[in-house]
Amino acid sequence: MKLEGSALRLTVFVGDTDIWHHRPLYHEIVHRAHQAGLAGASVFRGMEGYGASNRVHTSRILSLSEDLPLAIIIVDAGEKIRAFLPQLDELVTEGLVIIDPVEVIRYVGRTGAEQPR
């Protein structure tokens, strides 16, 4: 797959305890992005944050939270990202979904022989 130049970055902010049909919500989003043929998705766990609920979630040991913030980041061509949005409407009932324009400088995968097993 070739991806370079103008693209969109889709970022979905949810909690790490958010569930979709007995599975972690972030897992379902990544799985659906893969099924949709999007270029790639990564999940990042935040150490501290708050959102629309205005409740601070933190990983500090004295106030350990069970609902740390997660960011799922997906980058692909604009039309592919926008075509994926209806799936997020179904999945994300609490959280934040944003889109940013980006410029892809390099997108290169591993060759078959280099992939880990």
Residuewise pLDDT in 10s, the chain (117 residues): 778 889 999 999 998 889 999 999 999 999 999 999 999 999 999 877 776 666 665 655 555 556 788 999 999 999 999 999 999 999 999 899 999 999 999 888 877 655 555
Place of tokens 């933190």: 58
Give the model's pLDDT for residue 4.
Answer: 80
Pick the CATH number of 11-103 from 3.30.70.120, 3.40.50.2300, 3.40.640.10, 3.40.50.300: 3.30.70.120
Give the model's pLDDT for residue 115.
Answer: 52
Give the model's pLDDT for residue 56.
Answer: 63
CA dist 115 and 109 (Å) reads: 9
Residue 34's CB: how many other CB atoms inside 10 A? 12
